[in-house]
Structure 1
Amino acid sequence: MNKHPKNNSESLRSLLLMAELEEGRPISQREIAARLGIALGLVNTYLKALVKKGYVQVKAYPRNRFAYLLTPKGFAEKSHLAYRHLSNFNKLYRITRLDSLALFDSLRQQGAVRVSFCGVDDLTEIAYLSLREAGLELASVMDDEGVGGSFLGAPVVSLPVGVEAGDIPILITSPPRVGHFRSILLQLGVTEQNIHAPSFRYDEVFR
């Protein structure tokens, strides 16, 4: 049993944060907080710590925009953390598979035929495997950051377009952005009853 869950949680947040920064594009701390589903103040604290350790450097752009760039030392640390958490990500795969399959089985029993996905990341494909196993169809795939792309042959559309698929269940398939997507879906008129999300949190998986 892991005797240091807090340290694991903190190192995971650092890993996820550095993964968001590796492209080196201008991004606000508020955007990072929304993508990772953590508090803005916590993002600020982690960024300061990463800068202090020499893992991240800050580059200023016009209009108060900033790019947080991983240094060579930061890339090395990210690789180290990724290796350290590999077994946990395998655990996350298994939990996602079982969690999504249980949800889809329940929705099918309630009469659902189609389900939409909201948010595209590495876990979305796992959810799709469970969707097919449960005998349901994929109605739409939405993610405002991936518009114009595709997911297993299906076009990725904006959330306003995606909800036009009808009064059907929507599964948020990007755990770090559950809060962000839930808020937007509710604003677009989707009922709380039709919004579903993983029953676990990243922090719980990585204990």
Structure 2
Amino acid sequence: MPPQARSPLETDHEADSTRLMLDAIESDDRVTQRGLAAELGIALGLTNIYLKRCINKGLIKVRKAPAKRYAYYLTAKGFSEKARLTAKFLTRSLSFFRHAREDCSDLFLASKAKGYQKVAFVGAGDLCEIAILAALDSGLEVTVIFDETTNRQRLAGTPVVRSFAELAEVDAVVITDIKDPQAQYDRMVARLGPERVLFPSVLRLSPRKPAAAARGVGVKSP
């Protein structure tokens, strides 16, 4: 049986982790594995796996240092790979911005046509900022952003709240979380019902009502 292909999301995540690791080692050859784990935002064990993979590929070399430590440095191949991954990251980021902006614009225009005026966003990350720009263009009012994991008070002029109880009266909520959008979608559907939960198609969520997903908008006519 042929090996199962890995998802693009998994591949991109690994590429980004490798890029960040190479960046961190280039910036400080005295960085420890624990420091790399903090820089990458992943577990120490997973950092060790990525590090060994880079060493086996000839991207990084390691030498012993005083105080029972190890020093890491990039090889010529490592510098070339870092440049390649950086270019790939920038290209992918621009592509994501363009597709996300188009998806959000289509979603908001369709929502306006159905009579929606006020929405709240769920998730205060990069996609949220893109969605705010699209909402401004469409004339849809974003009253608040709900995110329990951030310390931000405002994002692009919009208030950020950390309690569901603080959500103002809105016609619908829009999933803009990219860390775990499916979990947020399911959570909002459980609270509000699928007709009041929207999402841009770039998130590729699995709605509870397939017919709603086929329309690209997770709401019914009010």
What's the TM-score bracket when you normalise by the shorter of the two chains? 0.5 to 0.7
Q: Secondary structure at the match of 2:102?
A: helix
Determine whether 1:95 maps to 2:95. Answer: no
Cα deviation, residue 80, structure 1: 5.1
Aligned to 1:166: 169
* Whole-angstrom distance in 2 between the partners of 1:72 and 1:190: 52
Cα deviation, residue 138, structure 1: 0.8
* Whole-angstrom distance in 2 between the partners of 1:180 and 1:171: 13
- Contact (CA 8 Å) 1:12, 1:81: kept in 2 or not? no
Q: Secondary structure at the match of 2:195?
A: helix
Cα deviation, residue 177, structure 1: 2.2
Structure 2 matches for 1:39-78, cutoff 5 A? 49-53=49-53
Q: Secondary structure at the match of 2:38?
A: coil
Q: Secondary structure at the match of 1:200?
A: helix
Task: Tell me the number of residue pairs that the alignment of Structure 1 and Structure 2 aligns.
Answer: 164
RMSD: 3.6
Determine whether 1:192 maps to 2:206. Answer: no
- Contact (CA 8 Å) 2:120, 2:170: kept in 1 or not? no
* Whole-angstrom distance in 1 between the partners of 2:104 and 2:83: 29
Aligned pair partner of 1:125 in 124, 129, 134: 129
* Whole-angstrom distance in 2 between the partners of 1:94 and 1:80: 21
Scaled by the length of structure 1, the TM-score of the pair is 0.63
Identity across matched positions, percent: 21
Letter in 1 for 2:38: G
* Whole-angstrom distance in 2 between the partners of 1:180 and 1:79: 35
Letter in 1 for 2:195: Q
Letter in 1 for 2:104: S
Mark the runs of 5 or more structure 2 residues left unpaired by the alignment.
Answer: 21-34, 56-71, 205-222
Aligned to 1:109: 113
| Residues 1:122 and 1:92: Cα distance change in structure 2 (over 3 Å) | same
Higher relative contact order (CA 8 A, sep 6+): 1
Mark the runs of 5 or more structure 1 residues left unpaired by the alignment.
Answer: 30-43, 56-70, 203-207
Cα deviation, residue 166, structure 1: 2.4
Deviates more, 1:171-180 or 1:6-15: 6-15
- Contact (CA 8 Å) 2:154, 2:160: kept in 1 or not? yes
Aligned to 1:179: 182
Scaled by the length of structure 2, the TM-score of the pair is 0.59
Q: Secondary structure at the match of 2:150?
A: coil
Cα deviation, residue 8, structure 1: 6.1
Aligned to 1:155: 159
* Whole-angstrom distance in 1 between the partners of 2:73 and 2:149: 27
Letter in 1 for 2:124: V
Q: Secondary structure at the match of 1:111?
A: coil
Cα deviation, residue 91, structure 1: 1.2
Cα deviation, residue 89, structure 1: 1.6
Letter in 2 for 1:14: E
- Larger radius of gyration between Structure 1 and Structure 2: 2
Q: Secondary structure at the match of 1:140?
A: strand
